[in-house]
A and B are shown apart, each in its own frame.
Chain A
Amino acid sequence: MTDANLTATSLLAIDVGSVTTRAFFFDAVEGGYRLVAQGIAPTTLEPPFRDASAGVQLVLDQLHEITGRIFAHADSGIIIPTDPEGNGVDAVAVTLSAGAPLRTMAVGLLEDISVESAQNLLSTLYAKVFDHIGMNDRRKLEERIDAILQARPDLIVIAGGTEGGASKSVSKLIEPIGLACYLLPEHQRPHILFAGNSVIATEVQNDLSGIVPVDIAPNVRPSLESEQLSSAQKQIREMNRLIRVRDNAPLMELSNWSGGRMMPATQGFARIVQFFSKYYPPGKGVLGVDLGASSTTIAAAFSGTLNHRVYSDLGLGSVLPHLLKYTSLGDIARWTQRNVSASEVQAYIQQKVLHPSSLPVTAKDNEMEQALAREILRAVVRASKTRFPKSAPQAGRGLLPWFEPVVVSGSVLTNAPTRAQSLLMILDGLELTGITTVVLDQFNLVSALGAASELNPLLAVQVIDTGALVNLAVVISPVVQARTDTPVLRVRVTYESGEEKKLDLNYGNLEKIPLHPGEEAKLSLQPLNRANIGMGRAGLGGGLKVKGSEMGIVIDARGRPLHLSSDASRRRESFQKWLKVLES
């Protein structure tokens, strides 16, 4: 897509991750926005630097080396807008995922209604919910005060009361919060976000604002049946920014560069997923997964409605030991192609804690890294599946809904030694269903692009259109349980040249059909043995056109849910076979 009337504004997107800081420079080239240059450096937010700007300066130096453009002066900071000599940049977008998760609490009326909505809202940030208080909390008033003091929250979200519903009970919930905040030293008091019944919003503000900063957002639970987290996104994002800047003063400069719009990286990522879901035909959702060093984001959007969650305890860096709350050492070890003991996995995890930015050099380390990535993905999917809307189209309970496309980000997935390894991690970790395109965020720029899209939506569209993201494979995953080697899918591929390829896929196998980028083919699919590929119902097939990608068409007939052999040697044989197929 090009635009002759394009306003030629350049944009610098800076993404400060927990391990790595990235900068992307976008500019108008030949009538369209392009990614011109990128830089990467270690993040310097934590000691001994305690100042993210050291890492940012390194990436800006790299951009300068590539483009010749000076982006910032040591004394006066970033040059905005571009000056007559062509130095500087017209706009800056900043995303942040570095830093400890915010300490938070959720308060509401009913545990599984408004308290849950408050927790869901907090789960869109890098945050840890330390405690929650509901109407049926059996603790005494002083015990609730103690719970708040012990949690020492940075942020408390209060929800509760549907529109036109309860108001008195909500007011009662405020009492321990007010008292606890009063008891805290002024500089340690949390920010409060009230996102409940709008009738009492002013009352809550009046009760608390003399003690703590209070912000009011639209009700996240306007009725028992509906949850509207998006209505409170603007406020919670601003509170997050204020707290981050309060806790790390040098971030103020970065925030100022972005005009005060510094965005949690996870929200930038989710924005792009939501955008895709508006762009792609309805009928399926869009899924995005970003596996980082200190957190993992999962964002699913259905017809523009976003379902977004950050797991701030799941990542491949220093938070790695938390994975053992979700899975076992044995379950991690089962994904390796060689005999790896539980204690070897334990030692590997500890080594990653010590050196979160270190890289696997040996084949064994590589397998362990990828085994950990698989289990993180599986943990995230397991925890998220129940939160997807019940109306989301899917083959059955407990399975991932049908998605098109699936956007995958995070170095372990995007920078694996081979694309085949990337894809197998994704297939094993996510257990995709039906027909979907796996899109790889090869430069890990989706979060930054999400933040940039707020300033310049056209830029995001055009950069995506021009190949910043890689179509990794078209994946067809029949949902079926059958005996090994029972045929579950009949496939006919008709290439543009007229050449045809026919094959029957047996249960338990993976198959790759080449279809290179730039090519197109017609697919005719006939599920067998009541396999469901999402074309209406089990056993129903049809035809479709598909575009080429790096891995072509991959048929994952290993069944859903995926069962691995309990026999270690057979399991390893299977892994080697699957990888060989994909690497062929």
Chain B
Amino acid sequence: MLAPVSYITPLTSIRRTRLLPIPGEVLVRKGQPVHPNDVVASAHISPRHYMLNVARGLGISEEKTEQYIERFLGNDIHEGDIIATRGKFGKRVVRAPVDGTIVFVAGGQVLIRVNTEPFELQAGYPGVVVELLHERGVIISATGALVQAAWGNGKINQGPLNVLATTPEHELTPGDLTESTRGVVVLAGHCKQPNALKAGAEARLRGLILSSLAPELLAMASAAPYPILVTEGLGNIPYNPVAHKLLISNQKRNVAVNAEPLDRSKDTRPEIFFPVEAAELTSAELPSEASILAPEQRVRITRAPYQGKIAQLEAILPGITIFPNGLRASAARVRFEKDENVQVTEAIVPQANLEILI
């Protein structure tokens, strides 16, 4: 069975496609090194237009208007610029009401695309631009440690990692976030206090990595002005030992936090990335993002009762297995890695509830 792959790995090479939602302008060149906050492309995703009725302004019919128009299709204009003039004495003038570009002229009217603030696409990762996608974006290549998360609030930033979660079961309190955490990315555990998220904003965090988040804080976390990433999911879930070990081993190192939400159709997911300067891996070694389940793979269980637990896949069971709640599904037998929170050593789980961990 095909299963999704999740990465918690100390060294890997990644290629990430960064795409504008609509065609726009690519602002970087191939081979250019970028930081996560660098703008690599921009586009006007909320266009605004102004229809200027020149005929009415000049007091003439639509058919006669064109000869008096002084600016043309594609011209950039500024507010107050003369668009059309008629007559020498008692002349009538039509001026541009806004800054913009003329995009259509016909029927005595001029359509102006108003200059608006463009949407700016950030690089999201510290790496090198390896490919330009005409009018759409770029592909960035980077090498380093990667932890893929479960949830993110859409923000992007980077900064040194400050570890508060020295144990996987850590719980974040407002008092944890003080002046000493200003301008850093904080690694905390579970968060259930709204004031802790508020304190994060006041401390101007560059990012907050959590193991889990209380569901009632979802809206607040989404609106937080800094990136928030949750590695395990909603509820009260401690870090899985593999991710925790990797994250705390990177204390003080610079970390890129790309909290883009998981969206399979757009191929985005929240990721924590610690860049390594010397990029050694080749494109041939780029890891896959889905694979066939097979014995001896390291897997993570995605649903209760072992949600978030890491195990080794021992065997794919033949046929259909009936679970205690009556569920009938293709199943696999897994053996849990040493984890004090897991009382059993083995379990049968639906294959659909496994992701391959690399």
Q: Which of A58, A99, A344, A354 has the most CB of B within 10 A?
A: A354
Q: With both chains docked as a complex, state the minimum distance between the C-beta of B347 and any C-beta of chain A, in angstroms.
A: 10
Q: Pick the 6 closest A-B CB pairs, nearest first.
A: A417-B326, A48-B289, A346-B215, A47-B267, A347-B234, A142-B49
Q: A152-B22, A350-B218 are in contact. Are A355 and B304 (CB under 8 A)?
A: no
Q: Among the listed B50, B233, B290, B327, which residue makes an inter-chain contact with A142, where contact means beta carbons less than 8 Å apart?
A: B50
**Does A279 reach chain B (CB closer than 8 Å)?**
no
Q: With both chains docked as a complex, state the minimum distance between the C-beta of B265 and any C-beta of chain A, in angstroms.
A: 5
B-contact bits for A65-86, CB 8 A (1 contact / 0 none): 0000000000000000000000
**Does A364 reach chain B (CB closer than 8 Å)?**
yes
Check if A355 sits within 8 Å of B302, measured CB to CB. yes
Q: Among the listed A47, A350, A363, A417, which residue makes an inter-chain contact with B233, where contact means beta carbons less than 8 Å apart?
A: A350
Q: Enumerate chain A residues within 8 angstroms of B324, measured Cβ to Cβ.
A: 363
Q: Enumerate chain A residues within 8 angstroms of B216, measured Cβ to Cβ.
A: 342-343, 346
Check if B353 sits within 8 Å of A361, measured CB to CB. yes
Q: Enumerate chain A residues within 8 angstroms of B2, measured Cβ to Cβ.
A: 41-42, 44, 54-55, 58
Check if B304 sits within 8 Å of A365, measured CB to CB. yes
Q: With both chains docked as a complex, state the minimum distance between the C-beta of A149 and any C-beta of chain B, in angstroms.
A: 5
Interface segment among A181-189, A219-227, A479-487, A523-531: the answer is A181-189
Complex-state Cα separation, A112 to B111, whole angstroms: 31
Check if B48 sits within 8 Å of A146, measured CB to CB. yes
**Does B247 reach chain A (CB closer than 8 Å)?**
no
**Does B305 reach chain A (CB closer than 8 Å)?**
yes
Q: A350-B151, A354-B233, A354-B262 are in contact. Are A362 and B325 (CB under 8 A)?
A: yes
**Does A216 reach chain B (CB closer than 8 Å)?**
no
Q: Among the listed A47, A141, A149, A183, which residue makes an inter-chain contact with B289, where contact means beta carbons less than 8 Å apart?
A: A47
Check if B47 sits within 8 Å of A48, measured CB to CB. no
Q: With both chains docked as a complex, state the minimum distance between the C-beta of A498 and any C-beta of chain B, in angstroms.
A: 37
Check if B104 sits within 8 Å of A188, measured CB to CB. no
Q: Enumerate chain B residues within 8 angstroms of A390, measured Cβ to Cβ.
A: none
Would you mind naming 30 contact pairs between A and B with Cβ atoms under 8 Å apart? Answer: A41-B1, A46-B264, A47-B267, A47-B289, A48-B267, A48-B288, A48-B289, A149-B47, A183-B47, A188-B23, A343-B215, A344-B215, A346-B218, A347-B233, A351-B234, A351-B307, A353-B262, A354-B233, A355-B353, A355-B355, A358-B352, A358-B353, A359-B352, A359-B353, A361-B305, A361-B350, A362-B304, A366-B326, A416-B326, A421-B326
Complex-state Cα separation, A118 to B345, whole angstroms: 58
Q: Which residue of B lies closest to A41 (CB)?
A: B2
Q: A179-B104, A182-B104, A361-B353 are in contact. Are A188 and B22 (CB under 8 A)?
A: yes
Q: Which residue of A lies closest to B353 (CB)?
A: A358
Check if B326 sits within 8 Å of A418, measured CB to CB. yes
Check if B265 sits within 8 Å of A354, measured CB to CB. no
**Does B235 reach chain A (CB closer than 8 Å)?**
yes
Q: A142-B49, A362-B325 are in contact. Are A354 and B302 (CB under 8 A)?
A: yes
A interface residues, Cβ below 8 angstroms from B: 41-42, 44, 46-49, 54-55, 58, 99-100, 140-142, 145-146, 149-150, 152, 179, 182-183, 185, 188, 318, 342-344, 346-347, 350-351, 353-355, 357-366, 415-418, 421
Check if B303 sits within 8 Å of A355, measured CB to CB. yes
Q: Enumerate chain B residues within 8 angstroms of A344, measured Cβ to Cβ.
A: 215, 235
How many chain B residues touch A (CB < 8 A): the figure is 50
Q: Enumerate chain A residues within 8 angstroms of B289, measured Cβ to Cβ.
A: 47-48
Q: With both chains docked as a complex, state the minimum distance between the C-beta of B160 and any C-beta of chain A, in angstroms.
A: 29
Check if A179 sits within 8 Å of B1, measured CB to CB. no
Check if A140 sits within 8 Å of B352, measured CB to CB. no
A-contact bits for B59-100, CB 8 A (1 contact / 0 none): 000000000000000000000000000000000000000000
Q: Enumerate chain A residues within 8 angstroms of B327, measured Cβ to Cβ.
A: 359-361, 366, 417
Q: Which residue of A lies closest to B23 (CB)?
A: A185
Complex-state Cα separation, A350 to B270, whole angstroms: 14
Q: Which residue of A lies closest to B2 (CB)?
A: A42
Check if A354 sits within 8 Å of B151, measured CB to CB. yes
Q: Which residue of A lies closest to B235 (CB)?
A: A347
Q: Which of A48, A49, A355 has the most CB of B within 10 A?
A: A355
Q: Enumerate chain B residues within 8 angstroms of A49, measured Cβ to Cβ.
A: 290
Complex-state Cα separation, A47 to B111, whole angstroms: 40
Q: Enumerate chain A residues within 8 angstroms of B22, measured Cβ to Cβ.
A: 152, 188
Q: Among the listed A100, A343, A416, A417, which residue makes an inter-chain contact with B214, where contact means beta carbons less than 8 Å apart?
A: A343
Check if B150 sits within 8 Å of A354, measured CB to CB. yes
Complex-state Cα separation, A47 to B17, whole angstroms: 12
Q: Enumerate chain B residues within 8 angstroms of A42, measured Cβ to Cβ.
A: 1-2
Q: With both chains docked as a complex, state the minimum distance between the C-beta of B113 and any C-beta of chain A, in angstroms.
A: 8
Check if A415 sits within 8 Å of B49, measured CB to CB. no
Q: With both chains docked as a complex, state the minimum distance between the C-beta of B57 and any C-beta of chain A, in angstroms.
A: 16
Q: With both chains docked as a complex, state the minimum distance between the C-beta of A243 and any C-beta of chain B, in angstroms.
A: 15
A-contact bits for B37-50, CB 8 A (1 contact / 0 none): 00000000111111
Complex-state Cα separation, A140 to B48, whole angstroms: 12
**Does B328 reach chain A (CB closer than 8 Å)?**
yes
Complex-state Cα separation, A347 to B151, whole angstroms: 12
Q: Enumerate chain A residues within 8 angstroms of B262, measured Cβ to Cβ.
A: 353-354
Q: With both chains docked as a complex, state the minimum distance between the C-beta of B204 and any C-beta of chain A, in angstroms.
A: 27
Check if B290 sits within 8 Å of A347, measured CB to CB. no
Check if B303 sits within 8 Å of A360, measured CB to CB. yes
Complex-state Cα separation, A316 to B48, whole angstroms: 37
Q: A48-B290, A346-B216, A415-B328 are in contact. Are A361 and B349 (CB under 8 A)?
A: yes
Q: Enumerate chain B residues within 8 angstroms of A54, measured Cβ to Cβ.
A: 2
Complex-state Cα separation, A41 to B355, whole angstroms: 16
Q: Which of B23, B111, B135, B327 has the most CB of A within 10 A?
A: B327
Q: A347-B235, A350-B234, A351-B302 are in contact. Are A179 and B111 (CB under 8 A)?
A: yes
